[in-house]
Structures are given as structure tokens and as C-alpha cells.
Chains A and B, each alone.
Chain A
Amino acid sequence: MTKPIYSYLQAELEKRFKVLKLWEAQDGSRFLEDHNQIIRAVVSDGGTGLSPELMAALPKLEIVSSFSVGMDKIDLGKCKEKGIRVSNTPDVLTDDVADLAIGLTLAVLRKLPASDRYVRSGMWKKALYCEMLLYFQFSGKSVGIVGLGRIGQAIATRAEGFGCKISYHSRTPKPESSNYTYYPSVVDLAAHSDILVVACALTNETRHIINREVIDALGPRGVLVNIARGATVDEPELVSALVEGRLGGAGLDVFENEPNVPEQLIELDEKVVLAPHAGSGTEETRKGMADLVVGNLVAHFEGKELLTPVV
């Protein structure tokens, strides 16, 4: 295990395997050297993945089982080349991440954290009407989704329950989603959306897919929601747009350099809602993800088909 991801996961692994905890080692490289003949699997998460150094240090590595759906921190090509299997945790977390996307949207538009603070601080007693807090309607707004995979589709289904008009951008249009409007350019999608949700995988092509041009197209009444990966957004551009009022608001679960969050976003506590990469963080889902991580390892070592293979 590269880090102490989740106690239930660790316990389940320890029941079945010898678990070596990289984070407890005084000297990481020495630790790996000492154990490199016996380590056959790595369990990691989305943020840490499998670094090139770690892959190089483990000649007996057969499988990487990731506690995430995101694969951006694992060199899949190299794993394929070396015959290393890779598994992730798709589907079990789709609903939770989609729920968070809608939760963040409502939290930004209806300023839920700021309003909750308004009450807890005693301000409501002093002034019956929070005049400084301008709230905006969610129902019926245009929602643009970047990436219409499992999570993007789940977000679309939920937003439709609020009477929202759905449009999307993806590498190619999806014929089964013909009732949603397809935009071949993200800038066009942003220009036609009130709320833009990033729901695509992080790849070389989608790095900074949300750039200044897209942010400007979304505009001073627009809201950006990111439940994907921090690097899909040009973070300095996002920050200056929010500070200068060129973008209306943002709901962010992910950042370019977690757990660091730009100081200006910390200050903008009415139009911005922040979460600590908690998209899949519910008790129910983390358990489901852990069971998949363990299940994939067990399948591999029993010579069976992996449950959720990526490579």
C-alpha cells in the first residue's frame, strides 16, 4: 500500500495478504530494495497512483489495484508493455460523484455554506434579510457537461429532474444521447451553458481543457463545477476570473495541487464552494470501492478474470 487510504480496506487486505506499508518506512527506497523480490501487487489511490520510480523499484510487480476510477497517475502504456495488470473502481462511485456535482451546483447557486454561516454567526438575528447574499435559481438552467461517460450521464439524469436543459462536449457525439445537444467545442458549450460541469477523465488532451477562453465564454453569471481532476482546469485563470468577477461562481472538489487550495479561493467564501476531494467519500461507496480493490487482487492471484480491469 502506498498510503493509509482507508482502514476497512487495509483490514480486508491484511486478512488475505501480507501488507507492506510504504508510508511507515523510514527510508522509502531502502524499504523497497529490501522487499522488491516479494512485492507482487500495489494498492494505491487516484491521487498517488503508481509513480515511475515505484514501478522501476518493483521488478516482481504483477498488478496495481487502484482505489479510484481515475487512472491519470498510472502510466498505463508502460504497464501494458511490462505485462502489469491494472484495475480500478468504476461504477460503484458513479452515483456519489454525480450527487456531489449537483450538491456543489446547488450549494453555489443558493449559497448554502455562506447562508449556514450567516445563521450560525448570529447575523440573522441582527438582520432579518441577508441582503448581501444574492441567490440564483437552479431549476430550468442550462447545464453543460464536459465528458459524457458514466459520471457525466449520471449528472445529466439528475439535472433533468430539475428541468435543466442538458448539453455536452465529448471527443465524439453520443448517438444514444441524441436528446442532449452536442457541442464539438468546449468554448461553444460554455457559451451556451449557465452551469459547466467537468466530468471527463484527465488525459494529455484534457489537461487545462477549461482555459481562459472557456471561462470567459461561461461568463459573469456562469458557474463552473469540477468533480473530475484539478488539472482539467487552468487554476490561475480560474482564480483571476473569480476574483475579477468575470466568472460568477465555482464548486470545486478537486485542485491542481491537492491539498493546496489557492488563497484567493479561500477568501471568496460566497461565490465559491470547496470540498476536499470527497466525490466518492461516502461510507457506502468507499466500502464498495474497497471490496473491488480486494476482489480484483483475489481474482488475479487465483488466476481468474479481473473484476474491473483497465490493463
Chain B
Amino acid sequence: MTCPPVHPYLVEALEKRFTLHKLDSVPDKAQFLSSHRDSIRAVVGNAAAGADAELIDQLPKLEIVSSYSVGLDKIDLAKCKEKGIRVTNTPDVLTDDVADLALGLMLAVLRRLCESDRYVRSGLWKKGVGFNLFLLQFSGKTVGIIGLGRIGMAIAQRAEAFSCPISYFSRSQKPGINYKYHPSVVDLAANCDILVVACALTPETRHIINREVIDALGPKGVLINIGRGPHVDEAELVSALVEGRLGGAGLDVFQDEPNVPEELFKLENVVLLPHVGSGTVETRQAMADLVVGNLEAHFLNKPLLTPVV
């Protein structure tokens, strides 16, 4: 396991069936890898750490990388393909949770839910200190989605229940979809109230949210990121929020987790979450079952459940 062992259920399930080494807690990783190079046949990673080229080179007996995530940006897929290493992820089981969180962030930002909760708990409501938070309506607002994959479509379906018109940007227009397509992200941003990043992180989508997009979204616009931190030029995002050039943001992911720019902490129009998109009890269990299931299938010479490579 190259990632921090975040879920006891997954760790237990793996330890029951395999010899599990937790690289994250090993003091001298290079030493460890070199002394175990002949026995490690599988790697379990997640959004924080996977299997980059360097690691793959150090594990000549590696047969499979099973990722506890749907995102694959921490795995060198090309190298795996080249070396015949199988790769699996956890698609579908987490789609609903991530989409739910996107909607939760939209409502939390627009209706200032975290700030309202703070206001009541601080005793200010009781004291009669006026509630001066600027609450905005969600229903009927235009939602622009970047990336109309499984998660993007699930977000669209939910937002439609609030009568939100949906528009989107993706590499190519999707046939048979009723939502309005925009051929550029700037165009999409200029024509929506809430912009959601729901695409995969690739070299092309790195910093897909840049200053130009942020300015197009504008002082009444809200950015929601449930993709990956590097989708957004974080420095530009922070200055836009601090200067009021962007209306608000709901962020589950950051450029360098768990570090979050502290300028954001004083802002009432921002909601910050510790990368919990798929973090429900139900889904984490399903994801863990997929990780273990894929590994078991591989070692039993059966077809993988959710292969990517």
C-alpha cells in the first residue's frame, strides 16, 4: 500500500488475504523497497499516492496496481501498459456520493450553510446580532459542468431537479444530450452561474480553470471543484476570491493536500472540505470490496472486475 492506510475496513480486508506492507509508515522507503523487491506483486494506491514510474522501476515483480479511487492521475498508465502491469480503479460505486457532494457544496456556498451554523453556535443569533450573510438562491441557477462523464451526468441529473438549466464543456459534444454545449471553458464560464469541475485530471486539463475562466465566471459566479486540485490555478483562485472578482467557491480538493491556502479561511463565501467526495461509509466499503475483489480475481487468474489497463 503506497497511500496512507486511510480505511481500517480496507486494511483489514487486505491483511486477511495478503501480506500487506504499508509504505507510508516505513521510515526508509528506498531501503524497504530494495529489500522487498522480489516479493511485492501488487500495489494498492489512492488519490494521494499510486505507482509512478520510479516506483514501478523498483518493483520488478509488480503484476497489478489496484487503486482505491476512480482517478488515475497518480499512476503511470503508459509504463504499466508497457510492462504488462494490470491497473484497476473504483468507478461507478462512488459516482453518486461525489455528485451528492457537488450539490452539497453548491447549496452550502450559496446558502452559507457552514457560516449559518457557525452564526447560531456562536450565540450571535440569540444576542440579536443581525444575520448579515448574503444568501443566494440555488434553484433555477445555470449550472455549467466541465466533463460530462459518469460524475458530470449524475451532477446534471440532480441539478435538474432544482430546475437548474444545464450546460457543459467536454472534449467533444455528446450526441443525444439535451444540455447546452459550449466549445470552450471560458465560454461556459461566461454563461453559467455555477461552474463545476468534473473531468479527469490529465496533462490537458491541468489548470483548466485559469484566470481567464475565473474572470469570465465573475463576481457573482461560484466555482465547485470535486475533481482534482491541479485542475485549478490555485493562486489565481485565491486572489480572485480575496479581491471579490469571484463570487464564491466550494472546494473538496486542493493543489497540495492537505495544505490549503490560509487566505481562504477568513472568507464566508467559501466552503472547504478535506477531500471527502467518496467518503461515506457505504461507498468506502464498496470501493474497498472492489480493490480486494480485483486483486483476488488477478491472483486467481480470473477476469478483473474493473480494469483500466
Instruction: Give min CB distance, A118 to chain B, whole Å.
Output: 6
Say whether, besides A120-B265, A261-B126, A161 and B162 are in contact (CB < 8 Å). yes
Restricting to A111-137, which residues have a CB under 8 Å from any CB of B?
A: 112-113, 115-120, 124-125, 128-130, 133-137
Q: How far is the CA of A112 from the CA of B272 in the complex (A)?
A: 9
| A276 nearest CB neighbor, chain B only | B125
Contact A106 B158 (CB under 8 A): no
> A269 an interface residue at 8 Å Cβ cutoff?
yes
| A272 nearest CB neighbor, chain B only | B117
| B273 nearest CB neighbor, chain A only | A115
Restricting to B229-288, which residues have a CB under 8 Å from any CB of A?
A: 257-260, 265, 271-274, 276, 279-283
Contact A99 B137 (CB under 8 A): yes
The residues of A that contact B103 with a CB separation of less than 8 Å are 102, 106, 162
Q: How far is the CA of A1 from the CA of B280 in the complex (A)?
A: 48
The residues of A that contact B135 with a CB separation of less than 8 Å are 278, 281-283
> A188 an interface residue at 8 Å Cβ cutoff?
no
Restricting to B162-176, which residues have a CB under 8 Å from any CB of A?
A: 162-163
Q: How many residues of B contact A (CB 8 A)?
A: 58
Say whether, besides A106-B100, A273-B113, A274-B120, A112 and B108 are in contact (CB < 8 Å). yes
Q: How far is the CA of A112 from the CA of B111 in the complex (A)?
A: 13
> B48 an interface residue at 8 Å Cβ cutoff?
yes
The residues of B that contact A119 with a CB separation of less than 8 Å are 260, 272-274
Contact B119 A128 (CB under 8 A): no
Contact B280 A106 (CB under 8 A): no
> A95 an interface residue at 8 Å Cβ cutoff?
yes
> B296 an interface residue at 8 Å Cβ cutoff?
no
Contact B96 A112 (CB under 8 A): no
Say whether, besides A137-B283, A158-B161, A283-B135, A110 and B259 are in contact (CB < 8 Å). no
Say whether, besides A259-B126, A285-B137, A139 and B97 are in contact (CB < 8 Å). yes
Contact A113 B114 (CB under 8 A): yes
Q: How far is the CA of A172 from the CA of B308 in the complex (A)?
A: 53
> A62 an interface residue at 8 Å Cβ cutoff?
no
Contact B131 A278 (CB under 8 A): yes
The residues of A that contact B280 with a CB separation of less than 8 Å are 109-110, 135-137
| B131 nearest CB neighbor, chain A only | A276
Q: How far is the CA of A161 from the CA of B155 in the complex (A)?
A: 9
> A245 an interface residue at 8 Å Cβ cutoff?
no
The residues of B that contact A285 with a CB separation of less than 8 Å are 137
> B84 an interface residue at 8 Å Cβ cutoff?
no
Restricting to A75-119, which residues have a CB under 8 Å from any CB of B?
A: 95-96, 98-100, 102-104, 106-107, 109-110, 112-113, 115-119
B84-121, CB under 8 A of A: which get 1 and which 0? 00000000000011011101110110110110111111
B50-90, CB under 8 A of A: which get 1 and which 0? 00000000000000000000000000000000000000000
> B157 an interface residue at 8 Å Cβ cutoff?
yes
Contact B113 A113 (CB under 8 A): yes
| B284 nearest CB neighbor, chain A only | A135
The residues of B that contact A107 with a CB separation of less than 8 Å are 104, 107-108, 113-114, 117
Contact B162 A158 (CB under 8 A): yes
Contact B274 A115 (CB under 8 A): yes
The residues of A that contact B110 with a CB separation of less than 8 Å are 282
The residues of B that contact A134 with a CB separation of less than 8 Å are 281
Give the tally of cross-chain contacts (CB within 8 A): 174
Contact B265 A261 (CB under 8 A): no
> A299 an interface residue at 8 Å Cβ cutoff?
no
Interface size range on A against B: 35 or more
> A236 an interface residue at 8 Å Cβ cutoff?
no
The residues of B that contact A95 with a CB separation of less than 8 Å are 137, 139-140, 162-163
Say whether, besides A139-B97, A261-B125, A106 and B4 are in contact (CB < 8 Å). no
Restricting to A149-174, which residues have a CB under 8 Å from any CB of B?
A: 157-163
Instruction: Give min CB distance, A298 to chain B, whole Å.
Output: 25
Can you identify 29 A-B contacts, CB atoms within 8 angstroms?
A95-B140, A99-B139, A99-B162, A100-B111, A103-B107, A106-B101, A112-B271, A115-B273, A115-B274, A116-B114, A119-B272, A119-B274, A124-B260, A125-B258, A128-B258, A136-B281, A137-B97, A137-B283, A161-B160, A161-B161, A162-B100, A163-B96, A261-B120, A273-B117, A275-B116, A276-B120, A276-B125, A282-B135, A284-B137
Given contacts A96-B137, A282-B135, A283-B134, 18 further A-B pairs with CB under 8 A are A95-B162, A99-B111, A100-B107, A100-B111, A106-B103, A107-B114, A112-B113, A119-B260, A119-B274, A128-B4, A137-B281, A157-B161, A259-B125, A261-B125, A276-B119, A276-B125, A282-B110, A284-B137
